[in-house]
Structure 1
Amino acid sequence: MNKFDRERPHYCHPQVILKTPQRLSAMALTLVSIWIAAISVAYCYPTAFQDLGESSKNRTSIRFLAIGDWGGVPYPPYITAVQKATAREMSKIAEQMGADFVLSLGDNFYFRGVDSVDSPRFKDTFEYVYTAKSLRIPWYVLAGNHDHAGNVKAQIDYTQKSDRWKFPSYYYELNFRIPNTGKTLTIIMLDTIMLCGNSDDFLDEKPRGPLHAVDANRQLAWLQERLARSKADFLLVAGHYPVWSVSEHGPTECLLQRLHPLLLKYKATAYLCGHDHNLQYIEESGIGYVVSGAGNFLDPDIRHWNHNPKGSVKFFTGQASTLGGFVHAEVTKNKMVLTFLQAKGTSLYRTVLSQREFN
């Protein structure tokens, strides 16, 4: 039995009893099942706003860091030089520019995730690395392909053992009120491995389709419902696999088919991801695509540059000389400012995205 079979996600479902005539076709039954799944997930995740604490009372923005692929190595000292340098710079930026939380974009533990909630990797690769007071803030976590090679449920359960590790479910929604503005920010955290399937870094590195189609479709139904309902002034979606990328893994065909149309239809502000081990900013149809996967390794590969929309690539770096990197975001009353930073202490690129406009 596959590890993923043992840890298939559990969702709440309404008690529905169907008295279906035998003559009802199998196709109709399938449609009813999908409808029930969609209704179920809509009511499993009621809208709630996260508390930013006392520090938010006298300001008018939300600030956060976004970093993926930071997950060390599975042998002593369980970290890399890039991870250590990036952690040090993250602490400085969080202190200087401010950070209310961190978005962790997957591949939290290389190379095969963790095996249990008591794994020493939580301490060796996370708690003992991001030690600065400025990083003792909520870390909102999602799973990457390397995490799915282990026990993702153990990472979810670690939420109960840590005061800052926040991983409530395989996919979930975060809602924030931007202090003193009347504006709101929503971040939808996805499990793109559940949605598209795992990838083998030693083969063609492409997702091979979801392991369980029902789970993938349930997540997609939930996502569409949340996007359609959202009136947030800033709407972000985050996952591990990229929609667009110039680097080794390139664009993810599954996400181009299943997620990309929804981002366009519902006017998402940006999509944030990791997977490729570099920093990228791609802008297409008014949506920002952020790749922040330079938390542990660096890769200067640009083999898929021409597989992205012409003129869409605005920024890329994966040079070893940067020592690693991450993204700082500040969301204000009417704009979102993204700053791409390298671990050796300088800003590399900055861009501004506008709030959503409703017709």
Structure 2
Amino acid sequence: MPFFNYRARTTSLNLLVLACIYFVHSFAEPPRFEHLTKGDGSLSFLVIGDWGRRGFYNQTLVAYQMGKVAEKLNIDFVISTGDNFYDNGLEGVDDPTFEDSFTKIYTAKGLQKQWYSILGNHDYRGNVEAQLSPSISMIDARWLCRRSFLVNTEMADIFFVDTTPFVEKYFADDEHNYNWQGVLPRRKYIAETLEALESGLRDSSAKWKMVVGHHAIRSAGFHGETEELIQLLLPILKANNVDFYMNGHDHCLEHISSLDSPIQYLTSGGGSKAWRGDTKHEHYHDGMKFFYDGQGFMSVELTQAEAQIMFYNVYGDVLHRWKTSKEFHSAV
């Protein structure tokens, strides 16, 4: 497995890598969900993160603009990059925060589509199982949240990775309580997550390969890069020709192009609360295509031959547009 050859920079990461080698011998395949493309073979969706604040901090305004773009693009679904409910997740399936921060906010006709969601670090401070429960989908059928899973379309495979357990500092946090049920033993959980992802990417024949996680691999935002993901996850993405890595966590919008692979790093964490100047780096590197320290969201439009990414602010203005293409051979 190539990612084990990547040299760790800290003692703790070395130990984690060694533990992964020891534990990876079998894994349960993550849930797989099929989502059809449009009749013309195209696919479009929105990406939003770090949003659930009962409409405050411009969450409602962002949702309004999402609705307009969703209808214009006739989106197929919405992706949430985590930190779905602030500050401490949900208390249970009957927590009114779910409806107050989700159902009553994203009311536009264009947003009445499937939402594919992952967990963020704030979600882990609450009742994780509540967000994962089928019971909560009975309250709002749009909601689908799992730890790690795959959405398979006719042209794109989208792999969702539960990144919070990768981050060591959360396990030493004395200020907050995290619900690690279903994660421990941590090293085995991470090893199996990585092995399942690598296997899925290796077997994928999709035209476009995307990975979604809550935490950033590359970012100029306040939280910045996630060392554990650079060491353990990034080599797998590079080895398997992943096109996009999409995340939240940093409350900003940004696009960074990899300098040594085709990967585009896309941060969409502007769903509600954001701060001007929320950055650690005045200048990042040559791969920085776009950075905005404010609220907003992202859209993705795909065909077999082309992908287009757009970022929008709270007024619906297009702040950044980027397009790429691939050679397309139609079936005979």
Distance 1:34 1:342, change over 3 A: same
State the AA in 2 paired with 1:349. H
State the AA in 2 paired with 1:174. V
Partner of residue 143 from structure 1, selected from 119, 123, 147? 119
Partner of residue 70 from structure 1, selected from 37, 48, 51? 51
2:158 is the alignment partner of 1:176: no
Under a length normalisation based on structure 1, what TM-score does the superposition of the two structures give?
A: 0.77
1:157-176 deviation digits (Å, cap 9, x = unpaired): 12344211012x31100001
State the AA in 1 paired with 2:289. K
1:31-90 deviation digits (Å, cap 9, x = unpaired): 7852123xxx24x54x653245xxx22x33100000000110xxxxx3214101100000
Q: What secondary structure is seen at the aligned counterpart in 2 of 1:163?
A: coil
Two-structure CA RMSD over aligned residues (Å): 2.6
What's 1:326 paired with? Answer: 297
Partner of residue 297 from structure 1, selected from 273, 294, 303? 273
Q: What secondary structure is seen at the aligned counterpart in 1 of 2:75?
A: coil
2:197 is the alignment partner of 1:223: yes
Q: What secondary structure is seen at the aligned counterpart in 2 of 1:153?
A: helix
Determine what percentage of the aligned residue pairs are the same residue: 33
Under a length normalisation based on structure 2, what TM-score does the superposition of the two structures give?
A: 0.83
Tell me how far apart the structure 1 counterparts of residues 315 and 174 of structure 2 sit (CA, whole Å). 33
1:308-345 deviation digits (Å, cap 9, x = unpaired): 5x3011100114xxxx2000110112111000011112
Q: CA deviation at 1:281?
A: 0.3
What's 2:34 paired with? Answer: 49
Tell me how far apart the structure 1 counterparts of residues 51 and 325 of structure 2 sit (CA, whole Å). 29
Q: What secondary structure is seen at the aligned counterpart in 2 of 1:35?
A: coil
Unaligned runs of 5+ in 2: 1-19, 176-182
Alignment length, in residue pairs? Answer: 298
Tell me how far apart the structure 2 counterparts of residues 354 and 255 of structure 1 sit (CA, whole Å). 27
Q: What secondary structure is seen at the aligned counterpart in 1 of 2:141?
A: coil
Distance 1:315 1:223, change over 3 A: same
Tell me how far apart the structure 2 counterparts of residues 302 and 283 of structure 1 sit (CA, whole Å). 18
1:216-242 deviation digits (Å, cap 9, x = unpaired): 111111111111111110000000000
Kindly report which structure 2 residues correspond to 1:192-207, keeping only aligned pairs within 5 A, or say none. 192-197=163-168, 199=170
Distance 1:84 1:32, change over 3 A: closer
State the AA in 1 paired with 2:227. E
Q: Given that residues 245 and 304 in structure 1 are in contact (C-alpha distance below 8 angstroms), is that contact kept between their aligned partners in structure 2?
A: no
Bigger radius of gyration among the two: 1
2:127 is the alignment partner of 1:156: no
Which structure carries more relative contact order (alpha carbon 8 Å, separation 6+)? Answer: 2
Partner of residue 144 from structure 2, selected from 134, 157, 166? 166
Partner of residue 313 from structure 1, selected from 288, 292, 302? 288
1:103-140 deviation digits (Å, cap 9, x = unpaired): 00100000000011111111101000001111000000
What's 1:100 paired with? Answer: 76
What's 1:8 paired with? Answer: none
Tell me how far apart the structure 2 counterparts of residues 242 and 35 of structure 1 sit (CA, whole Å). 28
Q: Given that residues 26 and 192 in structure 2 are in contact (C-alpha distance below 8 angstroms), is that contact kept between their aligned partners in structure 1?
A: no
Q: CA deviation at 1:353?
A: 3.1
What's 1:236 paired with? Answer: 210
Q: Given that residues 99 and 134 in structure 1 are in contact (C-alpha distance below 8 angstroms), is that contact kept between their aligned partners in structure 2?
A: yes
Tell me how far apart the structure 2 counterparts of residues 342 and 226 of structure 1 sit (CA, whole Å). 34
Distance 1:203 1:355, change over 3 A: farther
Distance 1:314 1:125, change over 3 A: same
Distance 1:261 1:354, change over 3 A: farther
What's 1:34 paired with? Answer: 24
Q: What secondary structure is seen at the aligned counterpart in 1 of 2:25?
A: helix
What's 2:179 paired with? Answer: none
Q: CA deviation at 1:355?
A: 4.0
State the AA in 1 paired with 2:229. L
Tell me how far apart the structure 2 counterparts of residues 331 and 141 of structure 1 sit (CA, whole Å). 20
